[in-house]
Amino acid sequence: MLLRIWNLVLKEFVQFVRDWLMTTFILTLPILQLILLAQATSSRISDLCVAVLDFDRSGDSRRLVAALDNRRELNVCHFPETLEDSHYLLDQGDATLAVVIPTGFAADLADASTEPHVQLAADASNSLPGSIALQAANGAIIEFAAERAATRGATAISPVDLRTTVRFNPELNARLFSMPAQVGFIVYQVTLTITSIGLARERELGTLEQLLVMPLRRVELVVGKAIPALIIGSVNFVCLLAVTVFVFEVPLRGSLALLFALTLVFIVAEIGYGIFISSIARTQQQAILLVFVLAMLDMTFSGYMVRVKNLPLALQVIAQVVPFSHYLEIIRGVMLKGAGLDVLWPHAAAMAAIGVLVIVVAVRSLGRSLD
């Protein structure tokens, strides 16, 4: 039996070597995709355009403008003359934030009995830059005022100081969150595509008939098809992980052996999905379309961009039966938090259970569609 499986695996590899164009694609495209995405997600939001409407035109108001401009997030680039002009800039999206400094700003600031009133209006039609601009401007203005107050000898500082320590990712680098997920997603895509298309192609070309008349049992056929996918998936994983850790310097704080072992479990579960798809799909095109739809759904339910606990409750429940969501907890846990099996066992167990279930269903469904 082992010999027969071995021969089938050998045949698959001969095919991969012959179709060298596709094989190079499978091995190099994922790395390119990973690098592109890493570049795209690393850019922090900075230099948002600010329009300042300075009715005061005093030394103090200019110092306030400079304080705003000095923020990394902000860049003062428009000086409209009227409120309508600043409104227009926000409407057109030419400015993310409008600041209105009232007349008598400097005089009111110098007089302890009056408080000048600075107005901020942000274009929140895109909420992320909008809220970042508001936070940065608020910070700059309060700092400016506190400094002014300090020079007058007043203590205007809050008695409670909040000191924050950020664990696992002190610089709040977005890459550390997105890259492990990307590695998982690419491995997922590659394994699923290879398994589901492999059988669909044999069917389309009619070579499946030949395989069926050979002295191979169904299980041997499935295992023989699964092993090459497992090997290619693992090779891909190792390459991508190396790029992530060595090129993009995402830490790997936990055990590499544990991560690799759990990745194998994940790949096996995905191979189960692949076999299931190939038992339904009649042509390669149908297989591709099904993989595409499945990938879209998994992106939604896996916590790929937004963590599962921030999803609506109904979606959180669905997420529990998606192996990818458990794998994301595992790869992020091991890489960023150095988590071990004592912490991750519920996710590992869930993933393995789903995997076994899917494979049983898939093999049965394939057996039916072959006979």
Partner 1 sequence: MSIPRLLAVVRKELCHITRDARLLFLVTVAPAFLLVTLSYVFALDVGRVNVAVRDLDRTSLSRDFTASLGADDDFAVVAYVQRDAEVEPLLVRGVADVVLIIPHGFADAALGGQRTEMQCIVDGSDSITAGQTIGLLQQRVSDFVTDLLGQRSVDVSVGLQVSDRAWYNETLKSLISMVPGMLAVIMCMPALALTLALAREKETGSFEGLIATSVRGAEYLVGKLVAYVIGGMVSLVLAWLVATQWFRVPFRGGFLDFLLLAAAYLFASMGVSLLVANFVRNQQTAMFLILMVFFIPSFFIAGLITPVSSAPIARAVASALPTTHFIAISRGVFLKGLGVVALWRQASVLVATGAVSLAGSLVLLEKKIS
Chain position carrying tokens 């304080």 = 67
Task: Kindly tell me which of 6 and 25 has the beta carbon lying closer to partner 1.
Answer: 25
- How many Å apart are CA 95 and CA 121, to the nearest integer? 10
Residue type, 328: L
Contact in structure between 182 and 253 (CB atoms under 8 Å): no
Task: Kindly tell me which of 75 and 234 has the beta carbon lying closer to partner 1.
Answer: 75
Task: Kindly tell me which of 158 and 215 has the beta carbon lying closer to partner 1.
Answer: 158
**Least distance in angstroms from the C-beta of 101 to partner 1:** 11
Tokens encoding 269: 């579960």
Contact in structure between 78 and 49 (CB atoms under 8 Å): yes
Residue 120: what are its φ and ψ, rounded to 5°?
-120, 135
Picking from 186, 270, 291, 191, the residue whose alpha carbon sits closest to that of residue 231 is 191
**In this structure, what DSSP letter does residue 309 have?**
G
Task: Kindly tell me which of 45 and 264 has the beta carbon lying closer to partner 1.
Answer: 45
Coil, strand or helix at 98: strand
Task: Kindly tell me which of 125 and 210 has the beta carbon lying closer to partner 1.
Answer: 125
Picking from 13, 18, 58, the residue whose alpha carbon sits closest to that of residue 231 is 13
**Least distance in angstroms from the C-beta of 13 to partner 1:** 24
**Least distance in angstroms from the C-beta of 301 to partner 1:** 9
* Residues whose CB is less than 8 angstroms from the CB of residue 156 and which lie 6 or more positions away in sequence, other chains included: 145, 146, 149, 150
**Least distance in angstroms from the C-beta of 277 to partner 1:** 16
Task: Kindly tell me which of 176 and 226 has the beta carbon lying closer to partner 1.
Answer: 176
Tokens encoding 365: 């469904």
- How many Å apart are CA 126 and CA 123, to the nearest integer? 7
Task: Kindly tell me which of 45 and 370 has the beta carbon lying closer to partner 1.
Answer: 45
Task: Kindly tell me which of 78 and 307 has the beta carbon lying closer to partner 1.
Answer: 307
Task: Kindly tell me which of 156 and 235 has the beta carbon lying closer to partner 1.
Answer: 156
Contact in structure between 112 and 66 (CB atoms under 8 Å): no
Instruction: Characterise 87 by phi-psi region: left (phi > 0), alpha (psi -120 to 50), beta (else).
Output: alpha
**Least distance in angstroms from the C-beta of 147 to partner 1:** 9
**Least distance in angstroms from the C-beta of 213 to partner 1:** 30
- How many Å apart are CA 16 and CA 313, to the nearest integer? 44
Contact in structure between 297 and 188 (CB atoms under 8 Å): no
**Least distance in angstroms from the C-beta of 211 to partner 1:** 24
